[in-house]
Structure 1
Amino acid sequence: MSKSCSSVLLILGLGLVGLPGCGPEREEGPVVARVGDAALTVAQLDNQIPDSDMAEAQRRLFVENWVRRELLYQEALAREVDETARVRQLVEQTRRDLVIAAFVDDLFGDRQIEVSEPDVERYYHLHADDFRRPDAEIRAQHILLGSRRDATSLRDELLRGAIFEDKVRDLSTDRETNTIGGDLGYFTADDRPEIWEACAGTGPGQLCRLVSLDGSYHIVRLTDRKESATVRDLTEPTVREQILEALVRETHRERLDELVNGLRTGHTWSIDETRLAGP
């Protein structure tokens, strides 16, 4: 397994996520919004929201937020807030952080981090408490259908011995799960209250009561139950991903520490311990 080192900003703790600042000199192509001389082009909007399936309401919210931000920014400039010592200090600190991030990214950005299976297993066993369930969970499969008649008929077929996974593949309208046996993963009562309630008193491998939700019908089969405080299994995708991310961050820190320690030996630096201690 390997992971890229490209997310250097995460290492440095820089939460620098924002909307694009679009001045007149950057205007290229059709414009979707303006504030004074500043413009947000369609190309810039598409670059910020690459998901073409995003609802119009979400795109509108993004644009309205850009307008709000630009109005505030231009008013701040008019009041010369950017000339204050505090803002200058913040701008300089941000500039330094970005330069550091770019420097580290140049050094490590293309280097892959290899994570071995023994490393994953070792981390899992050493940090078992991190993977304990705070609440009871169940795991279930489902088949999503559009009508009660179809759902009732299919549920009867399943009770007579039809293969659940085959029916999921052939009939379920849930595109996110119909290729993985309808698996919903583990969830709590708060995550999916209607399905949780329908599975009350049901044992693993049994069909739950039919669930009507948002105009559709769920045929649900319980596959597992886990009590609170039990440790999640390493085979659960969320557990493995959490471990991989932790090991990648750890390797990032080690590489960064190694770099800084090397720089310490090649540069003159000092810390005045008496002044550090304060009065």
Structure 2
Amino acid sequence: MRPPKTRLFPLLFVAVVMLSACGQGSRREAAPEPDDTAVARVQDQTLWASDVRREAVAQGLIGEDEPLDVTSDLFRRVLDEVIDQKLLAAEAERRGLDNAALAQRRLEATRQRILGDMLVESVVDGAISDTAVETLYREQLRLARGSEEVRFRLILTATKPEADAVIGILGQGALFEAVAAERSIDEATRFSGGDLGYATLDVVPEAFANALRDAPTGATVGPVQTTGGWAVLRVEDRRTEAPPTLEQARPQIVRYLTYERVRQLLEQLRGKADVDVLIETGNPEPRPNRPSASVPARKAAA
């Protein structure tokens, strides 16, 4: 009796498939960031949603803290660009271009810039907090002197005799708003009664500022010659300029704290390092008290 045929080849096939599956599982890449999503594979490299978003930030297409929807047209466009970059880089490596001396220097320069940015981010993240922002805001409020704002109305005429006639009509008790609607040639304000709202005197034309500076509330002044003709003005109200709220001032405060912290870091590093400039540059300009424009302003930590 012949022995039963063994099922050697099927068993070997199953074993190979299982080993292959296990190997694939062991090579599965971990997401580089929490809740990251794999969005493409180029050759053997996985592209993640965070890679695409980082490229969009680098191109200035979105803000540093803005999300990027993986289903959006913008995401797909940037994804295609990242894929193209991967393919070009892979082809450059295949041709051995990465081994050239110039390539090595440029790659090292890029590496140094990335490491510098990461150091700045870590230092800034540790220095900027809500407490730091609020402390500086309160200090600025204490030191600030509120400027005076003036609310005034305007009737603009083409000639001085016309402006004198307006003064006469107003002197007879006519409403300023009605005369503005009828006689002013300033199309931007005539139908709002000539109302120009509140403004500090440093932002209005010099002729207006001189006329309004000492005029009390309710006074009519003019005619005042200006580039557009002759103006008759009336002071509606005066008030102290309201300071910005904390939220309004936050971006500027964060930018200042960022620049100041990076300046301090650079001073410390230069103080400990040996730096010799080997070229003659005449009288060097003083270094500004701010970092390079490439250093991004960061938001305060929550």
TM-score bucket (shorter structure): 0.3 to 0.5
Query: TM-score if structure 2 supplies the norm length?
Result: 0.35
Query: TM-score if structure 1 supplies the norm length?
Result: 0.37
Larger Rg computed on CA atoms: 2
